[in-house]
Chain A
Amino acid sequence: MSHTDVERPDAGSSEVSAGEALLVEPSRLSPTRRALTTVLRSRELSIFLVLVAVVVLATSKNNSFLFSADGWRNFLLNPSILLLLAVGQAVVIITRNVDLSVGSVMALTAYLTGRLFIDQPGIPVVAVIAACLALGAVLGLVNGVLVAYGNVPALVITLGTLYIYRGIMLTWAGSDRINAGDLPSGFLSLGTQTFLTIPLLTIVAIVVLAAVGYYLHTARGGRELYAIGSDPDAAVLYGLSVRRRLLAAFVLSGALAGLAGALYTARYGTVSSNVGLGIELQAVAAAVIGGIAIFGGSGTVWGAAIGAFLLVTINRALPSLGIEDFWQRAVVGVLILGAIVLDRVLATRQARRLAESRDHA
């Protein structure tokens, strides 16, 4: 959806057909046509259609998959937490980094949520969520500082903090676990409350998604994230404040993981030692399926969000389709491989088309 390709002023004389002109000069088309072609050509649409197909298939086998109060609620509610993580992950991957520590950050804030309610009876829910956001942001800041100032790739740093944060959480928690009984019912109801049949958690996730998506698409800071991911050295030479942007991306990812931890506790009511174990790979997978190139510079958070929906929905759909849900991960693996192969094919085709239209001009 986002055009990172620079328009060439000298290209595209009037003889160039509409299809070729579109590739080099989208701005020559009317806004409506441009919006339409952007949507039709987007990676997000293809993954969205896969999601629709899965939902239609599962619903045709079992009506209550979507058309029951529970089915509808689960469809929206289950992906919300992964969606938050995938949005944060997407922003980090766009800068050509990765944040493997999100699962551990989520575990820490999930435990913090329970701890606060136990140790400070009567603490307002808003304060707890703010504390989780703050803790997540601080943990993200640590990642960001190490990555931006240590000259070390994010993969190594966040692999290290994945262990450190998880270790801190487990040491802090010791052998006790948080149960639903420890939590105020007002907080737990947050996890199930709905507004116009839409679960509150989903609304939170969608609001975050819209805000981050809008920022990435339009704001200067957002566009700079793409620039940094496309060519980090060029971004430095151009004078972008690369370090500050990287810090911001990691802080956002950490804060969203912190929020996800609070919401996790609200949704499930229990916090054990394996909260969020391995979810970092799911978040990366959602982003990859959603069309975010693992080496930065392209993709949208909308895609990552649809990817998160697809991952979670497939898991629930398989039993309705008569397949044991043990096979869910295999299906997810095939999807990821399919998505990156498709990426490759589209990229090659586009490169060829661009070369052709350049030669014609």
Chain B
Amino acid sequence: MSTSTSTGAGTAAPARTYDAYSAPLWRRLLLTRETAVIALTAAVILYSIANVPNFDGPLTLKFLLQDIAPILLIALPMTLVIITGEIDLSVASIMGLSSVLLGVLHENGMSVSAAAMLALLAGLACGALNGFLIAYVGLPSLAVTIGTLALFRGIAVGLLGTKAITDFTEKWTDLATDTIGETQVPLVMIPFAVLAVGFVVLLHFSTFGRGVYDIGLNDEAAHFTGVDVARTKLVLFVLSGVVSALAGIYFTLRFGSARGDNATGYELQVIAAVLLGGVSIFGGRGRLHGVLAGVVLIGVISSALRLESVTVNVTNIIVGLLLVASVILPNVLAATSSRFSRKPAAPPEPRPHQDAAPAGVGTTKGSDS
């Protein structure tokens, strides 16, 4: 695992690769973005246990896990999507759409399990539409998924209006909130953890995952080394759609309410958690354990502040500051350390603009005349 760590994290920033290889093992393990996020998360947890009343209380863990579960789920495929240098802004709309479909189908007499299957299929179709437009038509993912963000949410709100459907069978809503035996860990965390392991294997221990990094570093080079770039992107957006639908179903059953505006704005939370976890928005760099730590970090901060009866606003400020600091700090540190070290200055990080728009190259030309 540690070899793939170095290559995965290093190739995006050549300056660091050489340092990383020549540095002693403990430095290689400790000085990564992921380790920093995990350490920060651990520190915040320990601090909260020591100082926040009731943080170690019986219900905190349950609510914490229930709150972060949808973000955690969607962050898995989102990590892969962002590593390829694309983005998916439509995830929260797919959550809303699957929530509404679940509600409407169930209201019309379908069993929850059958309705959930159809909602998952709808998520698959949504992801396939995104993936087709991005991978095969070659449109920029930022623009496509802003469009489908509006489209999928529009269909959800159009189908149900401002109504809410709440008459789900108790068996299913209980399943979403039940805990494992005497512990306070929600039962659904078991399948979710299996899914997370699946994504770790997919990204870090498979050829497919290798291709994902290659595309993010240079999609043309990836193509010539035999990676099917278009198909990989299609698969990722389909995965993102299906997992978002799953998160939508969980969200609906947990609160026992299907609404068109469920989970509005979640896309930004997911992306914030992924970037906080050390994934580069330019693609090619990032690891899932960092992302998991990022999701947990945001969850713990929200939950601790809520117990301190600090409003959600302060959480917003802290999440925003963390996000900005986490992307600015490494650059500042690199600049300072190269100024003060006697070694020759490291070459600068790749400029933001170079890789920002692999798909946009064709669309920018001449469309304004």
Contacts and interface: CB of A to CB of B under 8 A. Distances in A.
B368 A156 contact: no
A57 interface: no
Contacts of B282: 153
A159 B151 contact: no
Contacts of A98: 142
Contacts of B150: 281, 285, 329-330, 332-333, 336
Contacts of B157: 326-327, 329-330
Contact of A351 (B139, B275, B366): B366
Contact of A1 (B146, B162, B369): B369
A168 interface: yes
B198 interface: no
Interface in B152-187: 152-155, 157-158, 161-162
**Residue of B161, B311, B328 with highest tally of chain A CB at under 10 A:** B328
Contacts of B363: 293-295, 340, 343-344, 347
A151 B327 CA distance: 9
A51 interface: no
A277 to B, nearest CB: 8
B327 A351 contact: no
Contact of B313 (A4, A170, A341): A170
Nearest to B353: A232
B147 A337 contact: yes
Interface residues of B, number: 69
B331 A152 contact: yes
B140 A333 contact: no
A340 B140 contact: yes
A170 B311 contact: yes
Given A146-B328, A285-B150, A344 B323 contact: no
Nearest to B354: A233
Interface in B324-340: 324, 327-328, 331-332
B366 A350 contact: yes
Contacts of B140: 294-295, 340
B133 A337 contact: yes
A3 interface: yes
Interface in B314-368: 314-321, 323-324, 327-328, 331-332, 348-349, 351-354, 356-357, 359-368
A137 interface: no
Contact of A354 (B272, B316, B366): B366
A166 interface: yes
A294 B360 contact: yes
**Residue of A2, A296, A337 with highest tally of chain B CB at under 10 A:** A337
A77 B281 CA distance: 38
Nearest to A161: B320
A153 B357 CA distance: 11
B144 interface: yes
Interface residues of A, number: 74
A181 B293 CA distance: 47
A277 B265 CA distance: 9
A352 B324 CA distance: 42
B148 interface: yes
Contacts of A5: 366, 369
A348 interface: yes
A22 to B, nearest CB: 9
B324 A164 contact: yes
Nearest to A295: B360
A2 B369 CA distance: 6
Given A160-B321, A329-B153, A330-B151, A151 B349 contact: yes
Given A291-B367, A295-B363, A333 B323 contact: no
Contact of A347 (B143, B144, B353, B365): B365
B281 A167 contact: no
B206 interface: no
Given A333-B148, A340-B143, A164 B317 contact: yes
Contacts of A43: 367-368
B268 interface: yes
A246 to B, nearest CB: 11
A340 B155 contact: no
A341 B139 contact: yes
A333 B151 contact: yes
Give 7 closest A-B pairs by Cβ, nearest first. Answer: A333-B151, A330-B154, A295-B360, A163-B320, A329-B154, A167-B317, A167-B316
Interface of A: 1-5, 38, 41-43, 96, 98, 100, 146, 150-153, 155-157, 159-171, 229-230, 232-233, 277-278, 281, 284-285, 288, 291, 293-300, 324, 326-334, 336-337, 340-341, 343-344, 346-348, 350-351, 354
Interface of B: 87, 89, 133, 137-140, 142-144, 146-155, 157-158, 161-162, 260, 264-265, 268, 271-272, 275, 281-282, 311-321, 323-324, 327-328, 331-332, 348-349, 351-354, 356-357, 359-369
18 contacts: A100-B268, A151-B352, A152-B331, A152-B352, A157-B324, A170-B312, A285-B146, A294-B142, A296-B360, A296-B364, A297-B364, A326-B260, A330-B150, A330-B153, A331-B154, A340-B139, A340-B143, A340-B147
